[in-house]
Every structure is written in structure tokens, then in C-alpha cells.
Chains A and B, each alone.
Chain A
Amino acid sequence: MSWNSVCKKDDLISGTGLCALHNGEQVAIFYLGSTDQVFAVSNFDPKGEANVMSRGLIGSAGEEIFVASPLYKERYNLETGACLDSEELSLKTFGIRIENGEVQLAA
């Protein structure tokens, strides 16, 4: 698997997201400082039909870490992309890792 660096780890702020352009796709990247985890999902909100997911709020429901859409607040599991509030909705997920201070997405 090859990896594509999109930004520095220092660009990430705990508990927030940002958006990267990756192979022509908009990818929302989130960082949870308390557990030092990163997540990557599609930036397109399938319900609101706008590229905004990176601007959503992240949180937990039981053991699941989620991002809530900034438009209509549906929650999506950041590891699986599954929507917690509707079986019909989901987000594409991307492989992501931090290597030498670089945030990398699976190409």
C-alpha cells in the first residue's frame, strides 16, 4: 500500500477536523488528542449534500467515536463510516496514519 502525505501532524487540533484534497477526493480528517487517534472519512455530507463533514463536531456514543454533521447533525462512526442515526446513510472511510510527523492517507 502506498501512502500520500497531506499535511503535518502539527496542523491538527485535538477534537477538530480539517479537509484534504486526496486523489481528487475531499477527505475529512479528524484528530482525537486524548487517545492520539486520527480518522479519515469522505467530506461529503450525504444528507445535506454539501462538502462540510470536516467542520462537524466529534464525540463518543458508548465506545463509538463519531462526527456529527454540521448541517443536520446525523452522527457517523469515524472508524466504519456507518451512520448512528439512519441505516440508509454512511460515509466512505480512508486509510490514515501518522508517519514522521506527517499525516498520510492510503493512496
Chain B
Amino acid sequence: MSKPTSSKQRIVVVGNGMVGHKFIDSVLAQAGVNGAEVITFSEEPRLAYDRVYLSSYFTGATADDLMLTSAEYYTENGINFVVNDKVVELNTEENYVVTASGRKEGYDKLVLATGSFPFVPPIPGNDQEHCLVYRTIEDLEAISASSKQSKVGVVVGGGLLGLEAASALKNAGLKTHVVEFAPRLMAVQLDDGGGKLLRRKIEDLGVEVHTEKATSEIVAGEECRYRMNFADGSFLETDMILFSAGIRPQDELARQFDLEIGERGGIVVNNNCQTNVENVYAIGECALWEGRIYGLVAPGYTMAKVAASHIFGGEEQFTGADMSTKLKLMGVDVASIGDAHGNTPGAQSYTYNDEVGQVYKRLIVSEDGKKLLGAVLVGDVEAYGGLLQLKLNDMDLPGNPEGLILPAGDGEAAAGLGVDALPDSAVICSCYDVTKGQLKEAVAGGATDMGMIKAETEASTGCGGCAALTKQVVDAELANLGYEVKTDLCEHFEYSRVQLADIVRVKKIKTFDELLVSHGKGHGCEICKPVGASILASFWNDYILKDEHIGLQDTNDIFLGNMQKDGTYSIVPRVPGGEITPEKLIVLGQVAKDFKLYTKVTGGQRIDLFGAQLHELPTIWKILVDAGFETGHAYGKSLRTVKSCVGSTWCRYGVDDSVGLAIEVEDRYKGLRSPHKIKFAVSGCTRECAEAQSKDVGIIATETGWNLYVCGNGGMRPRHTDLLATDLDKDTLIKYIDRFLMFYVRTADRLQRTSVWLENLEGGIEYLKQVVCEDSLGLAEELESEMSNVIGTYQCEWKTTIEDPEKLKRFSHFINSDETDSNLAYVAERGQRRPAFKEERIAAVELVD
């Protein structure tokens, strides 16, 4: 038996899961690398990994991606570790443990971080080959193997983990069922209304949910491998069963060797995380504090820190933990705060239930209506951060608490909580325990942007969920301290994009080098170069691959194609208005076939051809240009597409020629480079089949003329357009669009879409109407003439490129060889080819040419 060799404390950590590993990190943080002699045991074959993101294993993450530590890290930090060896014996009188392999280790301090195990209900037949659980990487491997031989899968348990498991089965392509004993999903975190909506949303995704079902036995099936018979006489057939019916503390070792155990399991600990034996600690899911087991990682981490602190004489205490959660299950946002069920005596509630928009929100407030006790949010969890702060800091509710969950009306901001109202003790980043007070201190100490704040405090470097709130606190504090919020583009220019655009326009600067020498410093960077390129192109519209411009172009512009993940490009010719002749369609098909390009129809009514290698681009574009195609600028921050419905030429309801107008405006504005991409649509009647009200510019035909809508967006944050003008004749319509676009080009920030630009424009849509329709700034003529210059200097960049042999030299993989990139590999899927995934390359899935 090895004995303590020095005066250093010898600490044995049983279990190397997330919490065991956190404990070791806490010891290293508190006592330094040589502060203690630490040895950790794991019964699993690998060191600690991230169980929170376990389901990502099914969407391509590997066991390595999930690792939280490594043998190298432990070795470097002097941590001894033994995997694949379970501690089976414990002697708290003589202070030693013994492992399954017979290894005996003495300790000064023992830390039990044995975690939990999945509870499998005692149902006859639950031990068959395809009855599995969901906790370890080995479990995932078994699930993955089983799902390959199965068509139908059932998850028993509709809690948080169960739904994650169901998502994994669904991703594996199985017909998926969830069977829950309680009357609703996520019974612990959600109330009836929330559970109902979650169920509806999950069922919409094709997962069948069966509540109030108690399984009585699992027998051989007729259609599938198994049949589950339920207590109510009904049954369900399935090929595999995953049990996720809760966890039980892994307290076997403590139980056998006489540590105090709770009535329903769990190793009893005090506020220092000590068990009834002074030098033995228990942390994480195996520990029972005040009769509670905490099945989340954050409280486990807190316990790890508390135990380490106590061992080294610190004073941190574990005093319970907030179990509020916010998560996304199968794409559905769900959050739960505090007393979600209103169990507090006298509790009252506010409920907002939008069955159409599928949003459910409920606030539980105290009897006197002054304090927030809990909340349930499904479908829209934006209010979570603010509500959690109200709850955690025991703050008074505002006068109209319902405003916290009601949607904002037109033009007004949602009633939220000003960050100024938060106390300094408010925890803003819960991953790293960063309070508002600490953020303020960091700002006062000179951390004036998010990068510096992150480096200084670690705030929002964990899950990132607090990023918006952190930025608000920082900005508010900067304003309080009288700082001017910095708008410098980057370290090379002390100007914003808008200021640089003015400089270029007024001083008639024609190259980036000129701009850098006269108004900047250094060599430029990946931020300011593309911005410079875009501004120069917006005003002077030079060929972007000229020698003086080429080094400024971002990834896609520099080879006039969208780079895909394997370094090949996609090709998107312009199809104005989405109208295409059969002859041209055949040319596209032939090119795709000849060059083996993966083909997909885009959302902008054109055709995207993927997988062209650099050296193939000129050959392909030569064919396309000869057939009458032009570049589609799909690679540029520029006009993309003008989508249209078929309009009055064919449609029974159309009131004007939407296709004709779409083609006309697409041809007018093609090639216009701008702060971000621009999309248009034209609808031939108010049925709005072209979805124009979600575009940067939307045009809708009415009996009395064209209506012009602006500043809509789909994508990450959808926004409907605002109506700029109604009943326009075509000339006025075009004039207004000219002015609108050039005004945006002049005044928008870098990579700012029209939607966000308008939201930040002082005076909003009313101001924009004055500028565009009433010419309140006297700019109309200037803006129109700038636009007419862009239109007059248009060239198809691909046509110019294929006619210039010097430029074509760059379109080869190697400057000194005709060989091509040997790293490319493809597999066949649904009749086309796609890049092979890393696993497929390794597993030697059949690759195709």
C-alpha cells in the first residue's frame, strides 16, 4: 500500500466525471500544481467528458470532441489517474480504498464523486438486448448500433433527458415515441399549459407522445421486435427501448461501508460537502444535501469548489442551488424558473397563451403580487434572463408584471427590465459566477469592449447565454462613466464604416492603399479590407479583381464563388425574377452533369451548383456566359435576387406583371455592392405569394399602383417590412428605390442588413419616408445620380474574368503544377455526390469520384 510521502495532503477522488474533474481543477486553482497529491479513479475507460452535450454524439461529435480533459493535462499538472478500475472497498478508520483490480490507496482526504445511474423501472422484460439507457459514451455506442437494426424506437420517460434521447433517436431516422407515466412532458419543470404546448410542438416534429402510460411488461412483438403492454390495456410495438426515467445516486460504496445515506438514497453531506466522516466528502449527483439530490451540472460544480475550498481552509459553503433551466429540445425553446407549479401558499399567476403563434408564458407571483416566485416559458424564452434576475435577487416586480410576458406592440420595446435596476450582486454570467458588480469594476478598470470584458472576467465565455445581458451592463456602465462608445472599425481605422464611406465619397478616394495611407495605419485586416472593398465598389464600381483591389476581397469575392467547407465553390448564375427558358435550364443541367456538381434550387428562385474546383470555375463560367448567363453575385455583399410570383400574365388573381417588374429591377440593381446582401421580391397582388414583406425591398401590386415596402428580413431574426409608400407609378417606384438603396449604402454600419439599419435609424420609418419621399435632406438628386453611375458601370465580373488570361492564372490549385487538390473526397447520396464526412473518410465508406 502506498503511503503519503510528504507533508502534502493526499486526496483520492473516486469518479472522474464532470464534477470529479471540476474538483481536481478547483484543487489546482486553489493549491497550485504541487499543492496536493491527487489520485483519481474512473470505472469508465476514459477520463471526464461532457455529458451535457452527449446528444451531439448523434450529430457528428466524436468521443474526443466531448472530452473535458486529457491524460496529458493530468500528467502535466501532476494528477495521478487510473481508468477502467472501480473503487470497491472503503475503510474510513484506516483511511484507504481498494479497487476492483486489488489496488490499495491511502488518503488524507477522500472525495466521492460517483455520480448517478439511470433508473430502469422494474418491468418484466426490461433486460433484453435492445433495452438500453442513456448516460455514458458506451451507452451511446450501443444505442447507435441498435438503431441501425431498428425502425421504431421508444423512450420511456418524458423528462429533460428523455426528450434529448428522443431527439437522438429521431436524428438516427427512427420512428420515435415517448412514453411518460405523468400526465405531461417535463413534469418537474413545466406546468400543465407549458407541457401541453411542448407536446404539441414535439408532435408536430413527428415524435409521438403517450402520457399517463405505465408499462406492465415487455414481450415479443408482432410487427416489431418488442411489444410494450401498458397497464390500461393498450400496447405499443417497437424495435428498441431507451429508459430515461430519472437518475438514482450512485451511493453503493458509501452504503456498503457505513457512510450515512438518505432514506431514498444519496450520501448525506453538510454545507462543506462533508459526509458524516470528517475527512470524506461527497459531491455532485451522489450527494444528498438537505434531503435533495441536484441532478444538474452547475450545482455539482459549486459543490466541487466548496469541497476543495474546505480542504484548503477556505470558507465557501454550499447553500443550495437554483434549478432554473433554459434549453432547446428538438428546436423548441423551453425555460423554467423557481416555483413553476405555484406550490407556494397564496401564489397567484399571470398566463399568456398564444395558440396560433405557439407561445406559452406563465408568471407565478407572491400572494401580495410584489415578488416573482417562478415562471414557465415555452416557444419564446427571451424573457428568461430578466425574469431569472428578478427571482434570484428577490427584486420587486414592476407595476404591471404582465408586461414582462406580453408581446411588444408595434414600435414599442418589450417591457423588460432595465439593467440599471439590477443590484450589483446580480449574477449575470452563471457559468463563471460573474456579478454585475464585477463587470462594473472591470469597466472602471479599463475593459471597454466585450473582448476585454471576456478576458478580464470570463463573463459569457461559457455557454454564451448571457452575452446580450453582459453587453447591456457594460454599455450602461460605459455610459454612466461618461465614455463615448467606440465605433472604430478596427485597429487600422479610427473611423466607423459610415465615416469611411463619407471620406471615400467626398475625397474621391479610389483605392484602399490610398485610404490606409491617408486615414489609417498598419496593413489592414480581415475586417477593414472587405469593408474598404465594398465602399469603393459602391461608389466607383471598379472591376473587383483589379490588382489594387484583389487583396481586399473576402473569401467568396476573391474567386467570384461561394467557398464550401471543403474548399470547392458553388456556382449561382443570375436568373432575373426567377424566369428561365428551357434552353438555359438544359445548359445548367448539362454543366452540372458534366462537372458532377451537386444541384439544388435556392430560396431565391435560382439554381445552385456545388462542388466546382478552383480550376474548373473559368471553364464552367465560359459555357454559362456563352449561353447568355451572367454572374449572380451570390458570393457578394450585393444585390442577390428579386423573387417574384407569376403575376397577371398567367395568374387568375394577378393585378399587375410582377415577373416583368422583377426582371426590370433585378437588371437595374444587379452588381450594386452594399454593406450587406440585399434581397427583393415582387408580388402581383395582395395575396403576396412572393413573400415580399420579408425582404429588404418588397413591391406589391394593387389595383391603384405599386406599394413599396422596405427593411424586412428572414434569416436569424425575421422582421416584416415597413410600408414606405403606396400606389406608385413605376417611374416613382424606381426613383424611390434608387434613393432608398443609396441612402442605406451611405449610412449603414458594416454587415448591417436594412432591417437592423432601420431599427437603429433615429426617427425610424417616418424619418426614412421624409428622406426618400419628401427629400427632406435635399439629397435625392445626389443619391439618384450615384445610383445611375453604378448602373452605368455594370459589368459581369465573370465575363470580364474569362476574357483576361492574366486573371485566369489564379484559377488553378497550384501555381507550379496541373495537379488538383488530393484532399477532396465524395460519397453518393440521393443520386448526387456530397463531401465525405471525417468519419466516412476514416471508416472508408465507399467514396465516389
| Partner-B contacts on A (CB < 8 A) | 6-7, 11, 13-16, 18-21, 26, 29, 32, 34, 44, 48-52, 55-62, 65-66, 68, 70-71, 73, 75
Contact = CB atoms under 8 A, between A and B. Distances in A.
Nearest to B838: A49
B814 interface: yes
Interface of B: 491-492, 513, 522-526, 528-530, 547, 550-555, 558-559, 563, 565-567, 809-810, 813-817, 819, 821, 823, 838
Contacts of A73: 526
A13 B551 contact: yes
Contacts, number: 101
B523 A34 contact: yes
A60 B524 contact: yes
Contacts of B821: 26, 51
A68 B567 contact: no
A19 B813 contact: yes
A61 B525 contact: yes
29 contacts: A6-B815, A6-B816, A7-B815, A7-B816, A11-B809, A13-B551, A14-B551, A18-B815, A19-B814, A21-B814, A21-B816, A29-B815, A34-B513, A48-B565, A49-B838, A50-B565, A50-B823, A51-B567, A55-B555, A55-B558, A57-B553, A59-B523, A59-B525, A60-B524, A62-B522, A68-B526, A70-B563, A71-B563, A71-B565
A70 B569 CA distance: 12
Contacts of B558: 16, 55, 57, 70
Contact of A59 (B524, B565, B813): B524
Contact of B567 (A7, A50, A58): A50
B449 to A, nearest CB: 15
A60 B814 contact: no
Given A50-B567, A55-B559, A61-B491, A20 B816 contact: yes
A59 B527 CA distance: 9
Nearest to A75: B526
A16 B551 contact: yes
Contacts of B491: 61-62
A48 to B, nearest CB: 7
A20 to B, nearest CB: 5
Contacts of A65: 523
Contacts of B492: 59-60
B530 A57 contact: yes
A70 B562 CA distance: 11
A15 B552 contact: yes
A50 B565 CA distance: 7
Contacts of A20: 814-817
Contacts of A6: 815-816
Contacts of B528: 59
A58 B525 CA distance: 6
The 3 closest A-B pairs by CB, nearest first: A15-B551, A59-B525, A60-B523
Contacts of A18: 810, 815
Nearest to B549: A15
A57 B513 CA distance: 15
Given A18-B810, A44-B823, A68-B525, 13 more contacts: A11-B809, A13-B550, A19-B815, A21-B816, A26-B821, A29-B815, A50-B565, A51-B821, A52-B563, A59-B522, A59-B524, A62-B491, A70-B555
Contact of B563 (A21, A34, A55): A55
Nearest to A45: B567
Contacts of A59: 492, 522-526, 528-529
